[in-house]
């Protein structure tokens, strides 16, 4: 049975209760909040493993709450909203959400996404442990043991999925990945979103890495996907995990 703690934030108490009931039946510990201030207070007191966060709330909306959470923690946030326009999803992902779910919520998809997020953010499986490690390039270190990104010697705050995406690409330099392959590698087969997620995360990574070094770079391979490009002599082999 799962024992992760999930904070549910929605200004409609009945929705909070429905989601709480679903999660408790699956073995999760579920805590609810009906506004932004209550959400931040409970986040600080219960230290959840994941947050289900409604976007459209009066007063402090979900985007504001998420920004405050990001100042304190890398806990994954799944945005929940009645708005389903592509631009809304892109905005949520661009601001750092791990995922984006539209109402009415499908129970099966919701649970699959939660399992994928809590599995990734919690203790790694044996298979995941074998794959973790570190890659080093000129002015760049991606350390998956500590979930740390260092750029030109400075630690850069980076959401877990961005870091996992960069590690996937950088640990296989010059290998071209399609968007679907990256979704499988980083988000897992249970992900129900679309490839726009990859584009948004690549955009955010490029903003962090732009102009750091001319010895590597995130490249778009038009019509195919993305690669971490380096000259052959500059390839870095990933360190094996201890």
| Portions of the chain given CATH number 1.10.10.10 | 127-236
Question: pLDDT value at position 189?
Answer: 52
Instruction: Give the CA distances from residue 32 to residues 45, 61, 121, 135, 136, in Å, rounded to whole numbers and listed in that order.
Output: 13, 16, 21, 39, 42
Architecture of domain 127-236: Orthogonal Bundle (1.10)
Question: pLDDT value at position 72?
Answer: 80
| Portions of the chain given CATH number 3.40.50.2300 | 5-121
Q: Which CATH class is domain 5-121?
A: alpha beta
Where the chain has pLDDT below 70, the residues are: 1-3, 83-91, 94, 118-132, 188-195, 232-242
Question: pLDDT value at position 13?
Answer: 93
Question: pLDDT value at position 242?
Answer: 36
Question: pLDDT value at position 241?
Answer: 37
Question: pLDDT value at position 42?
Answer: 93
* Model pTM score: 0.57
pLDDT digits (tens, 9 = 90+) for 172-204: 899 999 988 888 888 765 555 566 788 888 999
Query: Prior bond to 145 cis, omega within 30?
Result: no
Question: pLDDT value at position 218?
Answer: 94
For 167-189, b where at least 16 C-beta lie within 10 A, e where not — what string? bbbbbbbeeebebebbbebbbee
């Amino acid at each position: 049975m799962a024992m992760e703690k999930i904070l549910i934030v929605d200004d409609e108490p009945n929705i909070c209760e429905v989601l709480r009931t679903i999660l408790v039946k699956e073995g999760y510990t579920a805590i609810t909040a009906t506004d932004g201030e209550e959400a931040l207070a409970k986040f600080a007191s219960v230290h959840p493993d994941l947050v289900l966060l409604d976007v459209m709330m009066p007063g402090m909306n979900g985007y504001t709450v998420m920004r405050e959470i990001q100042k304190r923690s890398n806990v994954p946030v799944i945005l929940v909203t009645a708005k389903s326009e592509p631009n809304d999803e892109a905005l949520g992902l661009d601001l750092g959400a791990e995922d984006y779910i539209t109402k009415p919520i499908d129970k099966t998809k919701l649970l699959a996404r939660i399992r994928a997020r809590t599995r990734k953010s919690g203790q790694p499986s044996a298979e995941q442990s074998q794959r973790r490690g570190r890659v080093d390039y000129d002015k760049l270190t991606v350390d998956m043991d500590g979930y740390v990104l260092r750029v030109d010697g400075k630690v850069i705050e980076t959401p877990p999925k961005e870091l996992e995406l960069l590690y996937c690409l950088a640990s296989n330099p010059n290998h071209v990945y399609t968007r679907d392959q990256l979704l499988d590698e980083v988000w897992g087969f249970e992900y129900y979103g679309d490839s726009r997620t990859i584009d948004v995360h690549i955009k955010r990574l490029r903003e962090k890495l732009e102009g750091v070094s001319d010895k590597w770079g995130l490249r778009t391979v038009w019509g195919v996907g993305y690669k971490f490009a380096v000259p052959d002599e500059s390839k870095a082999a990933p360190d094996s995990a201890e």
